[in-house]
A and B are shown apart, each in its own frame.
Chain A
Amino acid sequence: MSQMSAPAGSKTLAPGCFTRREALGLLAAQMAISLGACSKPVEEIVPYVEMPEQLVPGVPLKYATALPLAGYGRGVIVSSVDGRPIKIEGNPRHPASRGSTDAFAEAEILSLYDPDRSKAVLHAGEIASWEAFEQALLPVRQRAQDRNGAGLWLVTGRITSPTLARQVDAFCKTYPQARWCAHEPTDIAAEREGAVLAFGREVSTRPQLDRAAIILSLDADPLGPGPEQIRNGRDYALHRLPNNGFVSRMYAIASAPSLTAAKADHRIALHPDLIAEAAIAVANGLGAGLRRPNLPEHADRFVQAAITDMKSERGRAIVLPGPSLSAETYALVHWINHELGASVEYFEPIDGLPDHTAGTLTDLARDLDGGKVDTLFLIGVNPAFDAPADLELAERIRRAKFSVHASGYADETAQISAWHLPLSHTLESWSDIRATDASASIVQPLIQPLYATRTMHEVIALFATGTRARSYDILRETWRASGGADFDGWWMRALHDGVIADTSAGKLTNLQPQLPRIADAKTVSQAPHLAIVLQPDPCIFDGRFSNNAWLQELPKPLTKQVWGNALALGSDEAHKRNLGEGDVVKIEANGRTIEAPVVITKGHADGVASLTLGYGRKSAGMIGTGVGTNGFALRQSDSPWLIRDAQVTRTGRSEEILKAQNIVGRPEDVDTLFPIVAAQKVSDGKNPPLQTGADLPSLLPTRPLPDDGHAWAMVIDSAACIGCNACVIACQAENNVPVVGPEEIRQGRQMHWLRIDVYHHGTAGEADLGFQPVPCMHCEEAPCEPVCPVAASVHDSEGLNVQVYNRCIGTRFCEANCPYKVRRFNFFGYADGQEYANLGLESYKAQKNPEVTVRARGVMEKCTYCVQRISGARRAAERENRPIGADEVTTACQDACPTRAITFGDLHRSDALVNRLKRDPRHYALLGHLGTRPRTTYLAEIRNRDSDLDKEPS
């Protein structure tokens, strides 16, 4: 890795500063050096004759660590080959991961090798050194000490790291008058304030969906992107399957489409103000006796049905509030959940410093305005991009006398700070972090920092004490007390497990919520004004993953848009405003204006549009800069998730919305391809069998298939799939799937081996969506095989349909003849010399899985059922002289899936889970009537609808 390290601090010599004699001398010296390069180094070096302990060349080692998202940790296990981390998987011991990942965790491995990461200290935009910064810091620290920290501001992200908390605490003690503020772009302030209103104190709330029979979501998105997606997804999926006691029913009232609303059994779209009214209606239904809610008739009917259901399931019902609601509504929901005895757990908040009140960015902006900020430390944040626009921090930060920005990227904030310090990637750092339930994990590095970077802990230590400390020592210091007598043993155990035992927060019980005071009903503003709901982006979250090409090219679950965001509108609303898909509109709110193209989706309330955050980066890197529209530019600090009165006008221009695939909505297509069964029928065993293609009549005798004792197969449960995309990125990481870039997407090309098809099976207005991950079907009668003229597409003796890359000449007949369209062609050398943007740079090559071929231009590729993993399991079994275990082989997509929707196994093993699933009454084969006999089959989506609501209103 040494060649990757940047020439930090190297001085450049001005031209023309040599005399002739000097130049000749230098030439001679340089020749002597280059000759010397052929000899051994002066220091003693050790030949690689005996292997270091544990390290077998080519055999991956796995380490537990944790990755942050919005400040909360998800435990992961990282595979490392010959010192290169290459793949991230979930840590089964970790409560926020449970062995699964999300798309962000999977993609972190690419960010590690991002060549656009910040590599050097910058001073006023010029490369400087750490030593120069330390020099510059001396007088600043002295001044701060003299003034007791007055005029000193520290801005961090959400702090859940015990070590960071300890350090910030110490920092605040060193500088008693210093101010600290935690800035997290996806924080929901109303949630905190709501808890204060209801309980008189801050309380953190976690829904327990695994115990919920009736779920009412009030614009909440528990299944959507965020640190709780994996846990919520797993818990939710538990009771979507008929054999786990009961099948839950989810009602969703959503202002804009979300994964939660998509999967709900019943949904209506309402303006956020009306959703607040719906909360009042629910509370009244439970005897709150509040004022009459101002709800339209159809919404009232919906809410009444939900109330009836919830009342009959007291103790197993739950109401979830979402970010577009006010603190009062959050408080009201606390009251409702208390009345219902809902499956909610309350915890002491973990993301603060108990002894210090956090400032806000608003305070910082005021101080900056008043010239009261002498020194500003910004660590791991990018407020110049993602702070609410009304604070105008991008301008105001310049007013600080001495500003230091530490981050993994030289981003927008780095551009306006006096100093920028490069931070190490999480996979290069020692640290610790808590999950949402407060379980702590040690973050251990998988690799030496690739560049001259330091960790957040080292940087804060430098600010606080002026000394260079190693984060390893700082970290061990934090935990020394917990470790007890045998600290080293405790430490090893903590590192090994990836989660520290008994650190989860104690539950708070006996909380008595107060009914909040409810204001009069707001009049929902009418056209021409539009309410815009802001959402974290399902692909790049809040913009921190902007420069990750995998995530940029990841199709958004509900629109399938890639490489950008757009103002999403319902078709009625668009029609009313005479807007078509791709029309660029000017969005004006609170005196600020942005431009965005329009994308038309189902599931928006009247007068509501939505926009995801994180795009429109100005300084993200080669991949992310300039992609999409910046929603933060419209954000108000007092209403961060909802822009009430936006004016939308056409600009007359239009641009293409890049989509990787279509949402399927024609009823006849949906009926053929995506069967849906009623939960009741499945439970009663009354569901008629679905098409599997196994019973098709044939004039031909059954063709004997070669058989070496294994028959690999996969079953995917659509009822469990929440469309989160973790599998897509997992597949990309595992199988060296290249990124093609926006131009190629525009041309209709993509490389994902696994795609998630979305079927719309509701009525025109209702976005009733189902998800169907589609990898290769590995058909027993594969249509791709007989058409290949060179036998590059062949069947192996274990039932895999394999593609022989070096035999492929690229006729593409196989993809033309594939009814599932799962094959992917390298029209250009996407991984072979014609990479998009900087993706061909050396550092990215370190991420490649050495067990998977990197495909050349002109060859076809596709899902292999992770054949390298099958091979690995076979080798392991042969070494140990045993058969491969029934469910021993897992594919990358299966490992990633938070809801365990994907199952892989050997049909020849009667104890394999796939065999049990293939006997399920919901089992079907996609396009089974074609006689392809696919090995990948599906379990049908389930809907548990309320019979009362399905009746026509009388």
Chain B
Amino acid sequence: MDDVNLEKPADLEAEEGTVVTAAEEKAPGETILEVENLQMYFPVKSSGIIRRTVGHVQAVDGVSFQLGAGESLGLVGESGCGKSTTGRLITRLYKPTGGSINFDGKDIAKYTPREIKPIRREIQMIFQDPYTSLNPRHTVGSIVGAPLAIHKLVPRNKILGRVQELLEIVGLNPEHYNRYPHEFSGGQRQRIGIARALTLHPKVLVADEPVSALDVSIQAQVVNLLKDLQKEFGIAFLFIAHDLAIVRHFCPEVAVMYLGKIVEVADRETLYNRPHHPYTQALLSAVPDVKQAAIGGRRDRMRLEGDVPSPINPPSGCRFRTRCPLAQEICAKQEPPLLQIGKRHKVACHFAGELGRHPMQPVTAGVLGVDSQGNPDPSVTPIDAPADQPGFADTWFDLPNQAMSKG
């Protein structure tokens, strides 16, 4: 990648000034995307004579997070946890059934298809499968150039030049604009997908499992490319993957999802070294570790029994409780709030704590105003701890003291 000129092409800059309704540039770190209580329920129809809606697949249920300009947030979880749906909501491939998506000061959650069109330039997506996400009948040039033509950003005769620039940026030979996707390897196709996403110079890139279909030795090439692009263009990434190690490598901040909800979110050092949610702990402990070779055999791990429950009828209270080794009565009765428990650390668990040091009494009782069995307790005055907020506050709920603290 060293020999590639990563600089933003000057003519594009000029073009942008005139054509793009340029949103003001955000300083790095300033929130560019704020998602609050995002919800996506897919209806389930009955099989009767008249097809009534008998239930909903609660694919995403009350997800809130913030993404800073030029930063990366990782979204991990197992299949069916709603991470991909979240990505598709943010790119507005789906219309959310609830909640807000605040992009650049506008709530795009309820935008009509017509209103959303200009936003699509700014929020782009990279897909998992580089084999099916590229139209096999179009040349690479027309795939990468299509966004320019659709949004009429560049005069027709300038498109080719811009396409070649983009191909060079993603490490492909610019002379190959005339070839078809099948003439490229998997890794190169993913680069084409990335070039296409970059065409409109987006502010946010949603990368949905961008490397999981690629060979191991190629994965690192693509991850490094994405990192370089982020540094160069200041793109904010929502990086969705099931591979915990890749996410950790790419994202300074990581959110863990389970059955449509975020159960824990923290900076990567905290999340990977001192996770407080039993699901995060189980996930991390399940990852096979190369270093184990030095010791031999398999390491002791926290085992989860059974499968993820159906998102149509998720368990009451805490959704993880049916597989959780810590579950108690309160977990069925009360849904644990996503509480901020550290400077950059939030967790949604009644018994949040480090592995092996989970508290005996629910830490959330005081916040919810309930007793340790989860029944409402009028004698408890609820502690005013903000929960389920998109961002991080300056004060948080300190677990050892059971009170608000400033750290």
Chain B binds chain A: no
